[in-house]
Amino acid sequence: MKNYFSQGLFGRDLLGSVVVFLVALPLCMGIAIASGMPPAAGLITGIVGGLVVGFISGSPLQVSGPAAGLAVLVFELVRTHGVAALGPVILLAGLIQVAAGLCRVGIWFRMTSPAVVAGMLSGIGILIIASQAHVMLDASPAAKGLQNFAALPGALMDAFAGGTGKAALAVGVATIVIMLAWEKLRPTKLKFVPGALLAVVAVTGVVQMAGIAVKKVDVPSNLFSAITFPTWTGLADVFDPTLLIAAVTFAFIASAETLLSAAAVDRMHNGERTRYDRELTAQGIGNMLCGFFGALPMTGVIVRSAANVQAGSATRGATIMHGAWLLVLAMLLPWLLRMTPVSCLAGILVYTGVKMVNLGQVKDLATYGKGTAAIYLATTIAIVATDLLAGVIIGFGLSLFRLALLSSKLKIGLQDHATPGEASLHLEGSATFLKVPSMARTLERVPNNTRLTLVLDRLLHVDQACLEMLREWSRNASTRGCELVVDWKALDARVEGRRVAA
C-alpha cells in the first residue's frame, strides 16, 4: 500500500478513474433507457461493476458496467415478461457465470468465432439505432428492429406535427454532431475528455437556458429507493423454460463479450495479464448482485476499459474509484442528472450503434476468406430480421458448417502403375462423410481385375462413413476380380476418437 502512493500509482489511478467516470456516466443512463429500464438501474450496475467487480476482477484494468450489447435482450425480456422477471433472470445468469468460472471454462469462451461476435455486435448496433431513433423523437420504440424501421417515417411525421418530438430530434442530432466534431477536432491536450460527456454538458446547458421542452431523465432523490429485490414468486418463475433460456443467453453473451474485451485490453498494456476464470467468476458475482438489486446485467466494456488504459491507469484502483464517483454523484447530485434530456442520451446511443456496426469489418474479415465475411453478414442480418438469440444460433450454425467443410478437405488420386492390373489410391487430408460421394465415384472408375493399394501416408483421419464404405468395397471387390490392399490397423488408427495398441 505504501508503494501505491510513493510510486505515483495513486495519482495515475485517480486521473484514470475520473476519465472512466466521465465516459461511464452518460452510458449507464442511456443504456438503461434503451433497455426499457429507469436510468437509476444503469447507475446501480455501474456502481456494482466498479466497487465490487473492480475489486475482485481477474482483469485489473477492465471496467465493467451496463453494456449496449445486452440492452436489446433486456428490452425484449422486460417488454415480454415485465420488470419483475429481470432480476431473477440476471441472478441465475450470474450463478451460471460463477459456476463456469469455478469449473475453469473461462478460456473456452475465447473459442467463439470472431465473425459471429462481430456480426452479433453489428446486429445489436443496428437494433440500437432503430430503437433509439424513436427515443430521439421523444417516442417509444417497438419490440422488434424491423418494426422500428417501418414505424420511423410515421414517428417523424408525428414529431413535426406537434409535441416535443421536433425539439427532441434537434437535441439528439446536436449531440451526435458535437461527438463527431470532437472526435475529428479534439486537441491533443484534451484527448482525455470524452465526446459523450462534452455533448451532454453542452446540450443540457442550452436546453436549460433556453427552456426547451423535452423529456428529461428521471433519477430518484434517493438511489436506494430504485432497488427492487426479487420476490419468491419471481424466483420460482425463473424456472419457466422461456426464462431459463433467457438466463443462459444472458450468461453466454455477457461472458463472451467480457472475455473478448479482456483479451483486447491485454493487448493495450504490458501489465498484469487477465486470469479468465477469475474474471468470469467476478462477473458472475457482479451479475448476481445486479439481479438481487433489480439492476441491469453487466459485462466488461471495451469502451470504458480502453479509456481506462489510455488515461494511464496503473491498477484496479481506477476501476474501483470510478464506481465510487458514480455512487457519490447519484447520491449527492441527483438533481443535476435530472436536467439531462432523454433524447441527448439517445443520440449518444445512436452514435454508439453506428460505431458497433463498422462495415469496414467486412473487408478485414474477407482477408480470412469470403466465408468468414459471409458469416458476419448472415449473423447481422439474422439478428435484425429475427432476434438476438436466433441470429447468434444461425451464426454459430454457419460457422460449424463452414468448419465441417474446411476440415473435410480431401484430395483423392487414382494412379495406374506400370505393371498391368496394379493401381494405387492416394488419400490426402480428412476423409469424412461429406466426401463419401467423391470416393465412391473414384472407386467406380477402378477397372475390373485390378489390385488396388490404398496409400495412407497423408491421410489425417477417416470417419465411420468412409471407413464402412471402404470395407464394403473391399468385400465386394472379388466379384469384379479386384482386391483392396490396405493396412487396416493403420486405417483404424486414423478413426477419430479411437486408439489402436501398437
Q: What are the tens digits of pLDDT across the range 186-202?
A: 888 887 788 898 999 99
Distance CA 317, CA 296 (A): 23
Give the pLDDT score at 68.
Answer: 86
- For the cut 80, the answer to whether the pLDDT of residue 5 exceeds it is no
Q: Cα separation of 132 and 47, whole Å?
A: 24
Q: Is 455 helix (H, G, I), strand (E, B) or coil?
A: strand
| 3-state secondary structure at position 177 | helix
CB 348 within 8 A of CB 135: no
User: Whole-angstrom Cα distance, residue 373 to residue 137?
Assistant: 34
CA gap 163, 343 in Å, rounded: 14
* Burial class of 419 by CB neighbour count within 10 A (0 to 12, 13 to 18, 19+): exposed
Spell out the residues 6+ positions from residue 261 whose beta carbon is closer than 8 angstroms to its own. 62, 299, 300, 301, 302, 305
Q: What is the DSSP letter of 1?
A: -
Phi-psi region of 187 (alpha: psi -120 to 50; beta: other; left: phi over 0): beta
Phi, psi of 416 (to 5 degrees): -80, 145
Q: Do residues 283 and 64 lie in contact, with contact meaning Cβ atoms separated by under 8 Å?
A: yes
User: What pLDDT, in 10s, does the model give residues 418-449?
Assistant: 889 999 999 999 888 888 888 999 999 999 99
Question: What is residue 483's three-state secondary structure?
Answer: strand
**Mean per-residue pLDDT over the chain, rounded:** 90
Residue 312 main-chain phi, psi, to 5 deg: 90, 15
The vertex-240 CA angle with 238 and 241, nearest 5°, equals: 120
Residue predicted with more confidence, 46 or 142: 46
Give me the pLDDT at residue 502, please. 40
8 A C-beta contact, residue 125 and residue 357: yes
Task: Report pLDDT digits (tens) over 257-275.
Answer: 898 889 888 888 888 889 9
Contact 203, 173 (CB under 8 A): no
Alpha helices in 35-67 (DSSP H): 39-48, 54-56
- DSSP state, 340? S
d(CA 129, CA 348): 10
Helix, strand or coil, per DSSP, at residue 117: helix
Strand partners, 459: 429
pLDDT band at 110 (very low <50, low <70, confident <90, very high): low
Instruction: Give 121-167 as a DSSP string.
Output: HHHHHHHHHHHHHHHTTT----SSHHHHHHHHHHHHHHHHHSTTHHH
pLDDT-derived band at 408, boundaries 50, 70, 90: confident
The DSSP bridge partners found for residue 451 are 422, 483
| CA separation for the pair 172, 175 (Å, rounded) | 5
Which cell goes with 418?
506400370
3-state DSSP call for residue 186? coil
Q: Sorting pLDDT into bands at 50, 70 and 90, what band is 497?
A: very low
pLDDT surpasses 60 at 496:
no
Q: What percent of the chain has pLDDT over 90?
A: 61
Length of the chain: 502
Taking each helix axis as running N to C, give the angle between helix 302-310 and helix 241-266, from 0 to 180 degrees, rounded to the nearest 10.
20
- Residue 93 C-alpha cell reads as 445468469
Q: Give pTM, 2 decimals.
A: 0.80
- 159 in Cβ contact with 139 (< 8 Å): yes
Q: What is the pLDDT of residues 292-330, one digit of tens each?
A: 999 999 999 988 998 899 888 999 999 999 999 999 999
* Predicted local confidence at residue 498, as pLDDT: 53
For residue 218, give the 3-state DSSP assignment: coil
Closest CA to 286 of 91, 106, 25: 91
Domains belonging to the chain, first-starting first, are 2-357 (no CATH), 410-493 (3.30.750.24)
Q: Give residue 501's pLDDT.
A: 45
What one-letter code names the amino acid at 405?
A: L
| Dist. CA 216–CA 194, nearest whole Å | 21
Residue 274: alpha-carbon gap to chain centroid: 18
Quick count: other Cβ atoms within 10 Å of Cβ 359? 11
**Tell me, what's the pLDDT at 320?**
97
In a 3-state reduction of DSSP, which class is residue 66?
A: coil
Q: Which tops the pLDDT comparison, 107 or 281?
A: 281
Q: 128-175: per-residue pLDDT in tens?
A: 999 999 999 999 898 788 999 999 999 999 888 888 899 999 999 999
Instruction: Calculate what percentage of the chain has a pLDDT beyond 70.
Output: 98
Per-residue b or e along 259-272, where b marks 16 or more CB atoms closer than 10 Å to that residue's CB = bbbbbebbeebeee
**CB-based contact 288:98 (threshold 8 Å):** yes
- pLDDT at res. 494: 84
What are 52-106's pLDDT values in tens digits?
999 999 999 999 999 888 998 999 999 999 999 999 999 999 999 999 999 998 8
Model confidence at 378: pLDDT above 90: yes
SS3 382: helix
